[in-house]
Amino acid sequence: MTTAAFAPQDLSKRVAPATALRNTVTLAWRNLVQIKHNPMELLDLSIQPIMFVLLFAYVFGPAMEGSVEAYLPIVIPGIIAQNALFAGMSTGFGLNTDITKGVFDRFRSLPIARSAPLAGRIIADTVKQAWSMTVLLLVGIAIGFRVETNVLALLTAFALLLAFAILFSWTSVYIAMKVNEPEKVQIFGFVVIFPLSFLSTAFIKSTHGIPGPVAYIMDNSPVTHLVEALRGLLVGGPVLEHAWISLAWGMGISLVFAPLSLRAFKQRA
């Protein structure tokens, strides 16, 4: 009796760019469709932002600005920016979950582009970011917030937020590649994102009256520049300088963490 010998498939061979793009879109769709089987993920993207809007507006608004209506132009852009940073952590959380559950091992056995699982995750989470920002704006409008610019400025605000979120998400991707549990990615999020968002002007009009060293950190925070650019695009004010500085911060972060993430990704994949 003879047995047929099968040569192992050469999966190291590069795939064509069109094939890589198709693989990426397929895996991005996979990450979005799974929300149907895990609706709690969509609730996390919707309920938490709504709670932040209502709590900050109705609890802190009257104390800080005298009324909810006066505080909304300040807090809505701030919460949108903060939520984008937290949502960026979901990229790392999802990646680490796929890795620890062996999903990436299955991807390695398939003749697909090696970058597709990572790129597909990032694209899917970008769509989720857009959904979350839409929810925040709609809730804000429902309780009195008004976009005082125009449609082009609103779309630019979306583009700026998503660009910064994608650039910043490389930090969570790198953490996801280095830790062995998804919960550790979340811990990183709370340890880093909370101080980063509160040491900014996300929830206040200015740093007037804040001690000098703390005020300096807040004035130069990437989150401050992102928030101020969003305020300018949504309710009016300076935009260009803040937008460029926030994107420069994002590019700097990605230039550090993207190569580290890709190297760690290749080592694990």
The DSSP string of 51-87 is HHHHHIIIIIHHHHHSSHHHHHHHHHHHHHHHHHHHH
The pLDDT of residue 1 is 45
**Scanning the structure block, which residue is given the tokens 């979950």?**
97
pLDDT digits (tens, 9 = 90+) for 10-46: 444 566 778 878 888 888 888 788 777 776 666 767 7
The pLDDT of residue 6 is 39
The pLDDT of residue 10 is 45
* Triad 205, 242, 168: Cα angle to 5°: 100
Burial classification of residue 13, based on how many CB atoms lie within 10 Å of its CB (0-12 exposed, 13-18 middle, 19 or more buried): exposed
Task: Tell me the C-alpha distance between 24 and 112, whole Å.
Answer: 9
Q: Which amino acid is at 7?
A: A
**Residue ranges in the chain assigned as alpha helix (H):** 17-33, 39-55, 61-65, 68-100, 103-108, 116-142, 151-178, 182-198, 212-219, 222-235, 240-268
Task: Tell me the C-alpha distance between 80 and 93, whole Å.
Answer: 20
At residue 59, does pLDDT exceed 50? yes
At residue 156, does pLDDT exceed 90? yes
The pLDDT of residue 86 is 81
Q: Read out DSSP for 218-230?
A: HHT-HHHHHHHHH
State mean pLDDT over 216-226. Answer: 93
| pLDDT cut 70: percent of the chain above it | 91
Which range, of 8-17, 41-50, 55-64, 84-93, averages the lowest pLDDT?
8-17
268: its two tokens = 């694990």
**pTM confidence score:** 0.85
178: its two tokens = 């280095």
14: its two tokens = 């590069």
**Scanning the structure block, which residue is given the tokens 């990437």?**
222
